[in-house]
Amino acid sequence: MKMLSWLVSGVLISLLIVVAGVLTNNSGYVAKANADDSDKAHHATIVKIERILSQTDFDVSQKRDLLRKTRIEFYLAEAKQADLRNWTFKRDDLVDRAKSILIHHQSQFNADATEFVSI
- 86 and 99, same domain (yes or no): yes
How many independent structural domains does the chain possess? 2
- 50 and 26, same domain (yes or no): no
**pLDDT tens per residue, range 13-63:** 988 888 777 777 655 545 555 545 556 788 899 999 999 999 988 888 989
Alpha carbon distances (Å) from 5 to 8, 12, 13, 14? 5, 11, 12, 14
- 4 and 62, same domain (yes or no): no
* Mean pLDDT estimate for the chain: 82
Domain span at residue 48? 34-118
In angstroms, the CA 23 to CA 31 distance is: 17
- 45 and 57, same domain (yes or no): yes
- 53 and 81, same domain (yes or no): yes
Residue 117 predicted with pLDDT over 70:
no
DSSP-assigned states of every residue in 31-95? ----GGGGGSPPPHHHHHHHHHHHHS---TTSHHHHHHHHHHHHHHHHHHHHHHTT-HHHHHHHH
Provide the pLDDT for residue 32: 54
**pLDDT tens per residue, range 63-115:** 999 999 999 999 999 999 999 999 999 999 999 999 999 999 988 876 665 55
